[in-house]
């Protein structure tokens, strides 16, 4: 899934570890969007994926100076663009 | 005039420590989001009058997305804005995210004082904030503090009165984050630092393999430390005291009393082999204090020391991430690890802290699991004291039964109850080295809380039992339940008293088993039954408060059913 600029779009769960990406879209309810927004995860924001715990465990990302653990299902609703 | 001061801020920025500093009221703080489950109120002397101070639960936004945030917002709107001041506590090491709430507070017209907390930690991490510039950009007072050491608190106190509402255009979320980006560039400067050992450890603990290794090591070391500290206190302090000082004293004092008389029975109990046996005599001055102080208290101290250390370092949320995927089949997510761990100390705070979980369904599952399958320190200490002599295998066996129960119960409740478990979303705090005095204070308050809660119940319980035993009231009751206990569980009739006392306090109940001369199989069954059957009276009330009567009745029925099943299975199938 490459767009015209050669950037790759994918769900956060598929982003490789230690890679930077920009959030493109958060699907799911506005409740989820608000929650993530409060923690600094919103469309347009850059983040660094630190790790993901196997067996559908949480994805750990760094946004700004905070480290946030996002459940696997929720992370699947966040589309990112690898930088 | 200001009538009330609110402390508002993101979760885990040290609001509770600022609260303690302002009011002198002690509240428990820990290095993970959501420690404040009960709203603390205190007061601050201001000139000649007292102003109420309210510590709000942590919130990321004024548009509430969780129960805790709803509570915070509705409390903020209780009084007219002219009568309040909001101290907005910020974590200086994470200014951008914290300022989002600040802007919202200002936009909504609250009179705000910004408190840049943890400024020492920011310095260590190479973050410098120009607080004067921030103050002029926001047009509200900004004070740098380090609540843990108390720096800046005096200045903060005297500045609160200067809080005034300022007008700022209301922004959408997107606009606000853009605005924040600009603000940060002007007030914050970063000095590049090489990765420190702390940061390497922070990273390693959230990666799968290194994380699991660290978790295994942490759990193993904690367990060993609790045993080591507990045993050391017993062999070096409490046992010598009871055996060499207290017993001779008691024997002198009661030299004139007649053995078998009412008072002797009440205070000393029965003499075993002609002397006082603290474990078996069952008197108000013998077994009662010995159980609580000689057997349970050392482990309470040891457990809370280790737990407080793990809490304040900030390790628990990392454990929660690693265990998240294993908790989902039980209908819980990783964060439920924290209430469950607290439950190992005492079920009451464990169940209270299930408030950090979002849905009622999760809270019910977690509370049920805690009250049935998680043994508290007093119970564990007594089980170890009773079964430990027969070898570690039996003690391990009780834990295995309880662990299996937790798994089965969780799987069952997750299937039976409607709804699905919400997802895990948690900010992971940085590691912090807790100052020793804060750790010491927390330990002191937890141990004091234990003694204040446990001692009266234990003394009254033993008194009550001794009176009933003296007048042989129990015989009628035991007759009633005898068929169940004798035939199904293979226990003697007298064990019924112990099982019934389990409702009052589990440790006393296990203590009552000691004089019955049970064999190891009976001891094993009785201890397990005490662990799984109905909760002690304190837990019972907290369940009632948290879950409501209907859910409480349901889980009580569940517990009785499970006890009968487990007792019978152990007796006829497993330990045959």
**Cβ neighbours of A69 in B, within 8 Å:** 206, 317, 320-321, 324, 334, 424-428
**What are the φ and ψ backbone dihedral angles of A39, each rounded to 5 degrees?**
-90, 5
Chain A touched by B271 (CB under 8 Å): no
DSSP codes, B87-102:
EEEEEGGGHHHHHHHH
Q: In a mutagenesis test of the A interface, which of B335, B426, B430, B432 is the best target, namely the one with the most A β-carbons within 10 Å?
A: B426
Residue B218 CA, chain-centre distance (Å), reads 19
B157 by Cβ neighbours in 10 Å (0-12 / 13-18 / 19+) ranks as middle
**Residues in CB range of B174: below 8 A, 6 or more apart:** A42, A43, A44
pLDDT digits (tens, 9 = 90+) for B510-553: 888 888 888 999 999 999 999 998 788 888 888 998 888 988 88
pLDDT digits (tens, 9 = 90+) for B16-73: 899 999 998 877 777 777 777 678 889 988 778 889 999 998 999 998 888 888 889 9
Query: Are A74 and B423 in contact (CB < 8 Å)?
Result: yes
Sheet arrangement for strand B49-55: B40-46, B49-55, B4-9, B84-91, B112-117, B142-144
Nearest by CB to residue B324, choosing from A31, A34, A71, is A71
Nearest chain A residue (CA) to B127: A65
Q: In a mutagenesis test of the A interface, which of B62, B64, B65, B177 is the best target, namely the one with the most A β-carbons within 10 Å?
A: B65
More confident residue, A4 or B108: B108
**Cβ neighbours of B207 in A, within 8 Å:** 50-51
Residue recorded with tokens 């709804």: B419
Q: In a mutagenesis test of the A interface, which of B321, B327, B335, B420 is the best target, namely the one with the most A β-carbons within 10 Å?
A: B321
Q: Right CATH number for A8-82 from 3.10.580.10, 3.40.50.2300, 3.40.140.10, 2.30.30.90?
A: 2.30.30.90
Nearest-Cα distance to chain B for A3, in Å, is: 24
Question: In chain B, what are the domains?
Answer: 4-190 (3.40.50.300), 210-574 (no CATH)
Distance between CA atoms of A24 and A7, rounded to whole angstroms?
A: 11
**What is the distance in angstroms between the CA of the first residue and the CA of the last residue of chain A?**
14
Report chain B's mean pLDDT, rounded to a whole number.
Answer: 89
Confidence (pLDDT) at A4 = 52
Distance between CA atoms of B510 and B508, rounded to whole angstroms?
A: 5
Chain A touched by B191 (CB under 8 Å): no
β-bridge mates for residue A10, sequence order: A80
pLDDT digits (tens, 9 = 90+) for B409-468: 999 999 988 887 778 899 999 898 888 888 998 999 999 989 998 889 889 888 988 888
Q: Residue B214 has which token pair?
A: 């660290």
pLDDT digits (tens, 9 = 90+) for B328-361: 999 999 999 999 999 999 999 999 889 888 888 9
Residue ranges of the domains in chain A?
8-82
* Secondary structure letter of residue B195 according to DSSP: P
Q: Residue B556 has which token pair?
A: 């009580």
Distance between CA atoms of B365 and B359, rounded to whole angstroms?
A: 10
B57 by Cβ neighbours in 10 Å (0-12 / 13-18 / 19+) ranks as buried
- Rounded to two decimals, the ipTM of the complex is 0.90
**Cβ neighbours of A36 in B, within 8 Å:** 425
Nearest-Cα distance to chain A for B7, in Å, is: 18
């Amino acid at each position: 899934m490459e767009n015209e600029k050669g950037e790759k779009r994918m769900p956060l769960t598929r982003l490789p570890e230690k890679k930077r990406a920009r959030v493109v879209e958060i699907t799911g309810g506005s409740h989820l969007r608000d929650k993530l927004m409060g923690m600094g995860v919103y469309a347009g924001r850059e983040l660094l994926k630190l790790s993901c715990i196997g067996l559908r465990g949480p994805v750990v990302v760094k946004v700004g100076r905070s480290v946030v653990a996002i459940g696997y299902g929720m992370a699947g609703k966040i589309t990112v663009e690898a930088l | 005039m200001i009538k009330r001061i609110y402390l508002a801020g993101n979760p885990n920025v040290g609001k509770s420590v600022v609260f303690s500093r302002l009011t002198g009221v002690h509240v428990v703080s820990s290095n993970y989001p959501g420690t404040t489950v009960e709203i603390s109120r205190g007061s601050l002397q201001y000139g000649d009058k007292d102003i109420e101070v309210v510590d709000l639960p942590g919130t990321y936004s004024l548009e509430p997305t969780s129960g805790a945030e709803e509570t915070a917002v509705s409390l903020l709107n209780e009084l007219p804005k002219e009568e309040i001041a909001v101290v907005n506590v910020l974590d200086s090491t994470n200014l951008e995210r914290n300022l989002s709430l600040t802007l919202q507070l200002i936009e909504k017209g609250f009179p705000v004082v910004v408190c840049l907390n943890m400024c020492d930690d920011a310095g260590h991490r190479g973050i410098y904030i120009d607080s004067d510039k921030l103050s002029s950009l926001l047009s509200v007072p900004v004070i740098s503090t380090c609540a843990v050491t108390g720096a800046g608190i005096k200045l903060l106190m005297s500045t609160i009165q200067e809080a005034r509402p300022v007008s700022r255009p209301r922004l959408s979320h997107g606009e606000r984050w853009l605005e924040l980006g600009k603000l940060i560039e002007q007030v914050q400067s970063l000095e590049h630092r090489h990765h420190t050992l702390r940061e390497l450890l922070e990273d390693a603990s959230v990666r799968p393999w290194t994380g699991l290794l660290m978790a295994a090591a942490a759990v193993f070391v904690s367990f060993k430390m609790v045993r080591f500290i507990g045993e050391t206190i017993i062999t070096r302090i409490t046992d010598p005291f009871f055996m060499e000082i207290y017993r001779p004293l008691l024997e002198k004092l009661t030299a004139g009393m007649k053995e078998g008389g009412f008072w002797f029975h009440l205070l000393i109990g029965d003499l075993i082999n002609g002397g006082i046996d603290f474990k078996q005599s069952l008197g108000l001055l013998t077994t009662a204090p010995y159980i609580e102080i000689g057997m349970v208290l050392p482990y309470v101290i040891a457990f809370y020391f280790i737990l407080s250390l793990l809490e304040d370092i900030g390790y628990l949320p990392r454990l929660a991430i690693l265990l998240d995927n294993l908790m989902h089949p039980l209908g819980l997510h990783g964060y439920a690890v924290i209430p469950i761990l607290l439950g190992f100390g005492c079920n009451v705070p464990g169940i209270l802290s299930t408030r950090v979980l979002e849905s009622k369904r999760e809270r019910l599952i977690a509370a049920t699991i805690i009250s049935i399958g998680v043994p508290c320190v007093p119970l564990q200490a007594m089980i170890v004291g009773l079964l430990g002599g027969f070898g570690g295998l039996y003690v391990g066996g009780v834990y295995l039964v309880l662990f299996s129960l937790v798994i089965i119960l969780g799987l069952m409740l997750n299937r039976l109850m409607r709804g699905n478990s919400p997802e895990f979303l948690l900010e992971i705090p940085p590691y912090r080295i807790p100052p020793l005095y804060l750790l010491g204070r927390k330990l002191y308050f937890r141990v004091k809380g234990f003694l204040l809660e446990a001692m009266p119940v234990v003394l009254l319980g033993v008194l009550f039992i001794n009176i009933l035993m003296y007048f042989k009231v129990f015989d009628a009751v035991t007759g009633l339940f005898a068929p169940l206990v004798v035939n199904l569980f293979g226990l003697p009739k007298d064990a019924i008293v112990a099982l019934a006392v389990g409702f009052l306090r589990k440790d006393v109940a296990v203590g009552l088993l000691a004089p019955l001369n049970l064999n190891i199989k009976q001891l094993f069954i009785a201890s397990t039954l005490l662990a799984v059957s109905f909760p002690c009276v304190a837990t019972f009330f907290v369940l009632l408060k948290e879950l409501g009567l209907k859910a409480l009745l349901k889980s009580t029925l569940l517990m009785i059913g499970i006890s009968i099943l487990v007792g019978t299975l152990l007796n006829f199938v497993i330990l045959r």
